[in-house]
Amino acid sequence: METLMLSRSEEDISAAGKILRNGGLAAIPTETVYGLAANALDGEAVAKIFKAKGRPQDNPLIVHISRLEQMNSLVSEVPDAALTLAAEFWPGPLTMVLPKADIVPEEVTCGLDSVGIRMPSHETARAVIEAAGVPLAAPSANLSGKPSPTTAQHVADDMNGRIDAIIDGGKCDVGVESTVVSLCGERPLLLRPGAVTPEMIAEAVGCCDVSHAVLEELGEQEKAESPGMKYKHYAPETEVIIVKGSFENYMRYCRENAQEDDWSLCFNGEGDILAMPHVEYGAEDDLLSQARGLFDALRWFDEMGAKRAFARCCEPSGVGLAVYNRLLRAAGFRVIEV
């Protein structure tokens, strides 16, 4: 299949809308990461997403909407908390898991009785949903197991020849995937951290629990609240190791342990002080900049053929919880305290 490269022009957005309406696949920019979209109400179209990504069959997809009314037809119940969170954070990087309506095909939810819904803030994403005239199911547009794509080039690297079209909307602003919060239980439960922090959710609706799977590896037999959490995710070929501690101790660790083809994944300004190849992924005091740079840095290591990458890391709170969660998975939970 030939993959069309589209722009953000009105004409191209309407072409993407048509592809999607006809059961095809189009990669679209969002403020978090690029998504691989299909008509969420067409089970056959949605099944193609799993094939194109090589995605495990039990990992459900998020449904993207452009207008609040669309949520009503997709869920069987709208708790007050959902309306409050929608008013506060939509459009934006927040996915709410709610009891699903029958209209949502099994292919989207993988047999669960809940569905994740998000209204992206990216203008192009919402314009494509409008052009398609249907809600769009969209996981991140990477091959399963690869870091999520934050540029159209990343998408093309993984998906060229596998999907109908890619819309180039430039570099994603947030850089890590949306916050996923379940509103199916008594209290809101954060399943995946993102730019909307648990503190922000608690501020809006009174409380927000955080799934232990955010910072801990799931046990062999444990059932994941969010199926995506159980897969080795965001994994580059390079072996990533988190080296946690002061920069001074980090430097000493690198000096004593680095071998040929080992790289440093460090904060802005630190690279020149280290006598080894390095990628700077953001400013130490700016968590959003780290979120924006992380996945690009992880893909870069593979391109460079890096053997190992020693990673500097932030504190796991606020937006740092999202950055640390992704880094931890990229590292397969390997952390060395120095």
Query: Which residue number is nearest to ligand TXA in terms of Cβ?
Result: 228
For 183, half-sphere exposure in the C-beta direction (CA atoms, 13 angstrom radius) is: 27
Q: How far is the CB of 23 from ligand TXA (least distance, A)?
A: 19
Judged by beta carbon distances under 5 to 8 A according to partner kind, the member of Mg ion, ligand TXA, none in contact with residue 327 is none
Q: Which is nearer to ligand TXA, 30 or 238 (CB)?
A: 30
Strand partners, 36: 27
140 forms part of the interface with Mg ion (CB under 5 A) = yes
Instruction: In whole angstroms, give the CA distance from residue 20 to residue 261.
Output: 43
Scan for tokens 């452009």, then name that residue: 66
Instruction: In whole angstroms, give the CA distance from residue 143 to residue 242.
Output: 24
Binding residues vs ligand TXA (CB under 6 A): 30, 32-33, 35, 59-62, 93, 95, 97, 109, 112, 114-116, 118, 138-140, 177-178, 180, 191-192, 226-229
Phi/psi at 125 (5° precision): -60, -45
What interhelical angle do 80-89 and 198-205 show, nearest 10? 120
Judged by beta carbon distances under 5 to 8 A according to partner kind, the member of Mg ion, ligand TXA, none in contact with residue 114 is ligand TXA
From 85-93, 116-124, 133-141, 209-217, span contacting Mg ion (CB under 5 A):
133-141
Q: Which is nearer to ligand TXA, 164 or 177 (CB)?
A: 177
Q: Which is nearer to Mg ion, 54 or 185 (CB)?
A: 54
Instruction: In whole angstroms, give the CA distance from residue 51 to residue 190.
Output: 28
Q: Which is nearer to Mg ion, 278 or 326 (CB)?
A: 326
Q: How far is the CB of 143 from ligand TXA (least distance, A)?
A: 12
The number of helices, as runs of H, and strands, as runs of E, in the chain is 11, 16
Q: Which is nearer to ligand TXA, 17 or 193 (CB)?
A: 193
Phi/psi at 289 (5° precision): -70, -35
Report cis status (omega within 30 of 0) of the bond before 91. yes
Residue 77 CA: distances (Å) to CA of 72, 100, 238 = 8, 8, 44
Q: How far is the CB of 325 from Mg ion (least distance, A)?
A: 13
From 66-74, 139-147, 162-170, 260-268, span contacting Mg ion (CB under 5 A):
139-147
**In this structure, which amino acid lies at residue 150?**
T
Q: Which is nearer to ligand TXA, 136 or 240 (CB)?
A: 136
Q: How far is the CB of 252 from ligand TXA (least distance, A)?
A: 37
Which residues lie near Mg ion (CB under 5 A)?
A: 140
